[in-house]
Amino acid sequence: MSPELFKATNVIVQGITGSHGRFQTKAMLTAGTTIIAGTSPGKAGEVVEGVPVYATIANIQKDHTVDISVIFVPAPFAKDAILEAITAEVPLIICITEGIPIHDMLQIKQHLKNSKSTLVGPNSPGVMIPGGNKLGIIPANMSLAGHTAVVSRSGTLTYEVMAGLSGRGIGQAYVIGIGGDQIRGTSFVECFKLFENDPHVDQIIIIGEIGGTDELALADYIKTSVSKPIFGYIAGKYAPTGVQLGHAGAILGSSDESAAHKKEALTRAGASMYDSVTALVQGVTDTVHP
């Protein structure tokens, strides 16, 4: 991933005529995002918030270059929407939809291999570039432009951290919600590669959860490849084994997937880890970018 991927201006919305698509299209436009078109099968020719509706991405591409697609298509149809975007070689695909079946995501992951697309999500609040693109449902009014990168599996905790940082005058360069499902597109490691290589990022915040091993893979990556200050929090400290909490991926299957184990691994890798979101926000250094 590169910074340019998130700064591109030709944005489309798949599922633009649904209630969520309409509402969030208006919010994204209000935040300054350039939305050139939307898709909704059977509703070509309609207009949503001044944005023309097409039947397919291929039809949009006859008139425009498409850089980013934000997907609000319901779960039963989301696989086809994502595959359509991959086939159309849309560089950045952001899927907000939750509840996509695991077997659908397994197929999508296969199609992503060797494709020209990057997928953020599903079950993601999206991406916020304060002062730039709002891609999804992250509230723009909670953001503040700056030099701290935030990546999270939890939408709600993302908003809480972002608002807390902004309240302290600590601005953000990226706010990325990678999604809370067991199988998803972009990983923590891929986001950290982006942050480490972007000179406009001074420090990084990670918000993890119980379940899965992504945070452990990140800890290994940090040891060898990240030089910037890292602050973090892992949700689910008191989670019982085998019970799903919130996200489909937030289920404690073994001690290796616990909040305590992940916190310990990231601490050993050099991250400053905290036991609450409030402590995390207060612990982040107010850096001054040259």
Question: Given CA atoms 100, 102, 108, 114 in this order, what sign does their dihedral have?
Answer: positive
Q: Which residue's structure tokens are 């990168």?
A: 149
In whole angstroms, give the CA distance from residue 111 to residue 54. 24
Catalytic annotation present for 247: yes
Q: Cis omega (within 30 of 0) on the bond before 139?
A: no
Q: Is 139 exposed, middle or buried (0-12, 13-18, 19+ CB in 10 A)?
A: middle
- Residue 239 DSSP class: P
**Does residue 214 contact residue 188 with C-beta atoms inside 8 Å?**
yes
In whole angstroms, give the CA distance from residue 173 to residue 195. 9
Closest CA to 47 of 37, 56, 55, 33: 37
Active-site choice (103, 200, 247, 261): 247
In the three-class reduction of DSSP (H, G, I as helix; E, B as strand; rest coil), residue 92 is classed as strand
- Catalytic residues, by residue number, are 247
